[in-house]
């Protein structure tokens, strides 16, 4: 049974509950508050609800929100919302649940990106029901819901430029279809582009063709914001990893005119993680991309401006202003700056490896490559959490994953839960005291030379993922900001010659440890010397840096 309300031109709120009494009560409360602006569609079975949603999709109706009861006989509410989100990905998803089912509701946050769960009963609705729905409808109205057809990317399988385009699009959450130039559809597009076509080829939905585009051209083509709206802000955040996104969210939410500048894509190193399982509030884990995308949307919701991709190459103090210069020209200024540029994975120094970057050798998770690893053997280098997470993720595709560890164990650098997961997976083999000392191949990686306890051997290998060390992106700071010998930004008590703290350094209760040697410039996250290299601590430092910005501004 499906009950519809008149007003076919209005956006729709769908409610599904197999209890007729509850179903009518939900629809009644919704109509009372939202009937003037929204059409309410009520279904009493999950199957009727799915049929109704499909019918609306074919008609081109807009669905603003979907409310589903958790306990339904044909499919539970989580399964219903998961099916519905394929048809209406922008609709807000609310699960109706009894107190006994709250654990299922929490799990649904990860499964279907649940927006909210409501405990039954919700009397009075003015206090427990309407404020929640108001917030969800407001979020839906703010969402850009324009349909976008996918980009098509045509290239060669073992092409580094093709990989860079695909990786850039994936990490910036731009959907695309990947086509090999050697296959019929890809070959047709290459032919249509002309005899002198340069791969990779990017074809926009309107037919516009980009040949071997650089990063700036590609960013503009897919609608990423690269131009600042003004030349002066309250706060500039440099870097879009967890610390930078945390600073942008808190800065914008607390009324600061905030701009975040990111050189490549939001998420930083954490954004490349296939699964983060020890982050508070996600008991079933969350991918780095999901976490980064939620934080990015949250920052935009509060009014932060995000510039991606723009590289900075200078920072200087001009009176009370802190001025950031762009590598491609131009500059912006602000009262305060938070440095959150994070770190990059250190390159392996072994003969031949540099020849195959993007062609079998990848620094970071390279999630775009994982499906291609199906039924092959892959090699992962590293002993920290990022390497462990990648090994576990890749084990779902590869026939075997070889984890190469330079040291004599994982306990010093990897979380216990990951060590247990790796030990439980039969297709992951850990090789201790093992290093990559060479690579070779014809056009792409085909062989690796490994050294274990001084004994070398050559193995067939097409895939190598590297997660070693960390190098901060701080060379652009010049002499403006003090750094330690490895390039990490010195802050707080560490701001002394050589990075050593004198015995008589005054201890202050306030968390001034994020302040650099330049007033109004702070550092947060992995780029800061002596920071804890964890996602949660980076987010916390980003938030704390905003509190210190407020204190700094109050004194000006």
Q: Whole-angstrom Cα distance, residue 430 to residue 401?
A: 8
Distances, alpha carbon 65 to alpha carbons 52, 116, 139, 294, 383, in Å: 14, 11, 10, 18, 44
The encoded tokens of residue 382 equal 């590293």
Cross-strand pairs, 202: 153, 210
CA dihedral sign of residues 150, 153, 157, 162: negative
Q: What is the pLDDT of residue 471?
A: 85
For residues 357 and 463, give the distance between their C-alpha atoms in angstroms, rounded to a whole number: 10
pLDDT for the residue numbered 497: 47
Could you give the C-alpha distances from 410 to 161, 431, 520, in angstroms and in order?
34, 11, 40
What's the pLDDT score for residue 114?
Answer: 80
The predicted pLDDT at position 110 comes to 61
Within 8 A by CB and 6+ apart from 555, the residues are none
Phi and psi at residue 17, to the nearest 5°: -155, 130
Cβ burial, residue 116 (10 Å; 0-12/13-18/19+): middle
Q: Alpha-carbon distance 517 to 495, whole Å? A: 7
pLDDT at 206: 78
Q: Are the C-beta atoms of residues 230 and 544 closer than 8 Å to each other?
A: no
Report the pLDDT value the prediction gives residue 510, as an integer from 0 to 100: 47
Residues 6+ apart with CB under 8 A from 158: 359, 360, 443, 444
Query: CA–CA separation, 27 vs 31, rounded Å?
Result: 6
Q: What is the mean pLDDT of each run of 10 residues along the chain (556 residues)?
A: 62 93 92 94 91 80 91 84 83 82 64 77 87 92 69 91 90 87 86 84 86 91 91 96 94 96 82 73 74 88 93 94 94 97 88 93 80 92 91 93 95 92 96 96 95 94 90 90 91 65 44 83 92 85 93 87
Q: What pLDDT does 57 receive?
A: 79
Distance CA 249, CA 528 (A): 20
In this structure, the number of other CB atoms found within 10 A of the CB of residue 433 comes to 14
């Amino acid at each position: 049974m499906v009950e519809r309300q008149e007003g076919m031109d209005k956006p729709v709120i769908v409610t599904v509950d197999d209890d007729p009494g509850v179903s009518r009560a939900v629809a009644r409360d919704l109509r009372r508050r939202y009937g003037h602006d929204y059409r309410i569609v009520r279904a009493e079975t999950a199957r009727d609800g799915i049929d109704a949603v499909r019918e609306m999709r074919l008609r081109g109706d807009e669905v603003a929100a979907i409310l589903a009861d958790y306990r339904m006989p044909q499919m539970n509410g989580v399964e219903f919302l998961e099916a519905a989100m394929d048809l209406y990905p922008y609709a807000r998803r609310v699960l109706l649940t009894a107190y006994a089912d709250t654990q299922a509701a929490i799990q649904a946050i990860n499964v279907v990106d649940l927006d909210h769960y409501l405990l039954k009963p919700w009397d009075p609705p003015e206090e427990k029901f309407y404020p929640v729905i108001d917030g969800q409808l407001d979020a839906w109205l703010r969402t850009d819901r324009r349909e976008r057809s996918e980009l098509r990317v045509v290239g060669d399988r073992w092409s580094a430029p093709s990989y860079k385009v695909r990786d850039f699009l994936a990490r910036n959450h731009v959907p695309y279809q990947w086509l090999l130039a050697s296959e019929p559809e890809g070959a047709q597009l290459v032919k249509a582009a002309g005899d002198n076509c340069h791969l990779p080829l990017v074809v926009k939905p309107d037919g516009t063709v980009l040949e071997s585009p650089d990063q700036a051209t590609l960013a503009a083509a897919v609608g990423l914001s690269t131009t600042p709206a003004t030349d002066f802000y309250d706060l500039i955040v440099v870097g879009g990893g967890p610390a930078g996104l945390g600073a942008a969210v808190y800065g914008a939410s607390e009324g600061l005119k905030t701009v975040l500048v990111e050189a490549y894509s939001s998420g930083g190193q954490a954004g490349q993680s296939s699964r983060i399982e020890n982050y508070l509030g996600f008991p079933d884990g969350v991918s780095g991309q999901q976490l980064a995308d939620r934080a990015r949307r949250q920052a935009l919701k509060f009014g932060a401006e995000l510039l991606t991709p723009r590289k900075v190459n200078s920072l200087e103090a001009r009176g009370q202003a802190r001025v950031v210069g762009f590598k491609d020209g131009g500059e912006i200024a602000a009262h305060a700056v938070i440095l959150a540029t994070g770190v990059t994975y250190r390159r392996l120094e072994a003969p031949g490896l540099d020849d195959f970057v993007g062609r079998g050798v990848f620094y970071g998770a390279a999630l775009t490559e994982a499906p291609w690893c199906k039924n092959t053997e892959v090699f992962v280098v590293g002993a920290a959490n990022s390497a462990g997470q990648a090994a576990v993720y890749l084990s779902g595709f590869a026939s075997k994953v070889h984890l190469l560890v330079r040291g004599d164990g994982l306990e010093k650098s990897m979380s216990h839960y990951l060590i247990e997961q790796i030990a439980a997976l039969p297709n992951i083999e850990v090789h201790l005291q093992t290093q990559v000392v060479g690579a070779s191949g014809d056009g792409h990686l085909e062989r690796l030379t490994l050294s274990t306890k001084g004994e070398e051997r050559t193995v067939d290998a097409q895939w190598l993922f590297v997660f070693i060390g960390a190098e901060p992106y701080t060379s652009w700071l010049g002499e403006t900001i003090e750094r330690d010998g490895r390039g990490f930004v010195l802050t707080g008590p560490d701001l002394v010659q050589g990075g050593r703290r004198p015995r008589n350094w005054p201890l202050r209760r306030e968390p001034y440890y994020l302040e650099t040697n330049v007033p109004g410039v702070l550092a947060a996250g992995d780029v800061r010397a002596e920071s804890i290299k964890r996602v949660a601590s980076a987010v916390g430092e980003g938030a704390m840096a905003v509190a210190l910005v407020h204190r700094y501004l109050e004194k000006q």
